[in-house]
Amino acid sequence: MDYPLLCIDLDKIEHNAKVMVALCAAHGIKVSGVTKVVCGHPAVAAAMLRGGVDGIADSRLENILRMRAAGLDVSYLLLRLPSLSRVDEVIDCADISLNSELQTLQALSDSARSRGKSHQVIMMIDLGDLREGVWPDLAVERSKMLMQWQGIQLKGIGANLACFGGLTPTHDNMLQLAELAAEIEQACAIRLQWISGINSSGLNLIAEGGMPERINHARIGEGILLGRETTRREAWPNTYQDAFVLQAEVVELKRKPSAFPGEHGEDAFGGHPHFDDHGDILHALVNIGRQDVAVEGITPQQPVTIIGASSDYLGLDVSALSGRIQLGDILSFDVNYAALLAAMTSVYVKKNCIRGTLFDDRIFCA
C-alpha cells in the first residue's frame, strides 16, 4: 500500500449522516449533504445518500461533474456563487444554485432559456457574517426582479453563518430570515420551498428547540464527515469523529539533538521555528508535509510530538516509542476540517475507502 494515505470509513460517514438527518427531520428540516471538503468524492457522497440526505451540495462544478460521472443521479446544489464566465456550466450540471447578484441571475436566465432548461435559485441574505448575500432590506426588491425572468425559479432564500465572520446562528437571526421569507412570499405571491438557514453551526440551535418553524433546509458537511458542530468544534453525540484517518510512513529514524546551537533565520515557509533543548531525542521523519496537509490540523494517534514540518516531511519526537518503532512503520493522525480539506485536495495523498475496519499489520498501534 502506498503512503501517505487517507483512510475513509464509509460506514461511519453513513452513520453520522443518519444521526444528522434524524435530528433535522424531527424539526421539519431537510438536509443536503455537503461534499466540498472531500472534493466531491463519489463514495463519500454515496455514503451520505445511504444515510438519508435529501441531495448533495458542493461548491465546485468540477466536483458535481465528478459525482454525476460516477452515476449519482440526485439533486445537486451549487454552494459557491456562480461566476459569470461559467453560467452555461452551472445550468448544465447543477439543479440549484446560491445567488446574490442580479447580473448573474440574468445571465443564468438567458443561459437556461437558450438551453430549454429550468434552473432553481436560492437568494442568499447576508445576516451579518459578511460572506455572500444581499442586505435584508434589499431582498424583497431583488426577489421581485428575478421573478420577471424566465428559465430560473426562486426556490427559496438562505443565509450562511459561522464560515467567514464566525457569526453564530441564533433564534433571532433565524427568525429574521423566516420573517423575510414571509415578506417575499406576500410581495411576489409565491410559496418558497426552502428557507435554507443553517450549516453545521446550527446543530445546537436545532437540538435546543430554538429553530423557527419556517427554517426547513440545512447544508451539513462537517457534522456528517467529522461528527462536530462548528461553533466550538465540539463532538456531536452518537457520531464518529474518526471517519478519516491520515497515515504516513516513517522514512528516517535517528537519535538527534532536540535543539542545535547556531544562527537561525526563517524556515522554508517564512516562519521562525523555536526548539526547546531536551537533550537527545528519537527523531522521526514521516513522508507527509505542508504540500499535503494543514499540519496544524492533525493530531497523532500515538504518543508522539510534532516538532516541525517542511514541504515533504513531518518531524516527530518519537522517544516515547523507543524500542517499539522502526523504519517503515505507519503512524496515524486524526484530522480537523482544514487538514481534511488539504489532504483530500492533494494528489500526493492516496485515498482508500473502506466499509468496516481496515487491518494492516504495518500500522503501528501504541
User: Count of domains in the chain?
Assistant: 2
Domain range enclosing 98: 10-225
Q: Are residues 217 and 250 part of one domain?
A: no
- For 97-113, the pLDDT digits (tens) are 999 999 999 999 999 99
- For 206-236, the pLDDT digits (tens) are 999 999 999 999 999 999 999 999 999 999 9
Q: Are residues 139 and 39 part of one domain?
A: yes
Beta bridge partners of 219: 32
Residue 318 in domain: yes
pLDDT at 278: 79
Cα-flanking dihedrals φ and ψ of residue 235, to 5°?
-60, 140
Q: How many CB atoms lie within 10 A of CB 213?
A: 10
Q: Are residues 248 and 214 part of one domain?
A: no
Give the C-alpha separation, 220 to 203, whole Å: 9
Q: Are residues 61 and 20 part of one domain?
A: yes
Contacts of 259 (CB under 8 A, 6+ apart): 275, 276, 277, 278
Residue 362 in domain: no
Q: How many CB atoms lie within 10 A of CB 279?
A: 8
Summarize the confidence of residues 21-47 as an average pLDDT.
98
Which among 18, 30, 36, 256 is annotated as catalytic?
Answer: 36
Q: Are residues 179 and 112 part of one domain?
A: yes
Question: Nearest-CA neighbor of 200 among 163, 237, 175?
Answer: 163
Residue 94 in domain: yes
- For 243-282, the pLDDT digits (tens) are 999 999 999 999 999 877 767 666 667 776 777 777 899 9
pLDDT at 279: 87
Print the SS3 string covering 23-41: HHHCCCCEEEEECHHHCCC
Q: Are residues 324 and 185 part of one domain?
A: no
pLDDT at 366: 37
Q: Please report the beta strands in the chain, taking only residues with DSSP state E, as ranges in sequence order.
A: 5-9, 30-34, 55-58, 76-78, 96-99, 119-124, 152-158, 194-198, 217-220, 244-257, 280-286, 298-300, 305-309, 314-317, 330-335, 350-354
pLDDT at 358 over 60: no
Mean pLDDT score across all residues of the chain: 94
Q: Which of 225, 257, 277 is at the close of a domain?
A: 225
Asked whether the CA dihedral 145, 148, 150, 154 is positive or negative, the reply is: positive
Q: What pLDDT band is residue 359 in, cutting at 50, 70 and 90?
A: very low
Q: Are residues 321 and 277 part of one domain?
A: yes
Q: Are residues 121 and 19 part of one domain?
A: yes
CATH number at residue 255: 2.40.37.10
CATH number at residue 30: 3.20.20.10
Q: How many CB atoms lie within 10 A of CB 44?
A: 28
> Is 13:225 a contact under the CB 8 Å cutoff?
yes
pLDDT at 135: 96
Active site (annotated) includes residue 12:
no
> Is 55:79 a contact under the CB 8 Å cutoff?
no
Residue entry with cell 453520522: 16
Q: Are residues 204 and 155 part of one domain?
A: yes
Q: Are residues 25 and 167 part of one domain?
A: yes
Residue 268 in domain: yes
> Is 335:301 a contact under the CB 8 Å cutoff?
no
- For 5-16, the pLDDT digits (tens) are 999 999 999 999
pLDDT at 28 over 80: yes
pLDDT at 266: 65
Q: Which of 225, 252, 277 is at the close of a domain?
A: 225
pLDDT at 189: 97
Q: Are residues 324 and 191 part of one domain?
A: no
Q: Are residues 109 and 38 part of one domain?
A: yes
Q: Which of 197, 225, 253 is at the close of a domain?
A: 225
Residue 364 in domain: no
Summarize the confidence of residues 103-128 as an average pLDDT.
97
Q: What pLDDT band is residue 184 in, cutting at 50, 70 and 90?
A: very high
pLDDT at 363 over 50: no
Q: What is the pTM of this model?
A: 0.94
Helix (H, G, I), strand (E, B) or coil at 157: strand
Summarize the confidence of residues 305-327 as an average pLDDT.
97
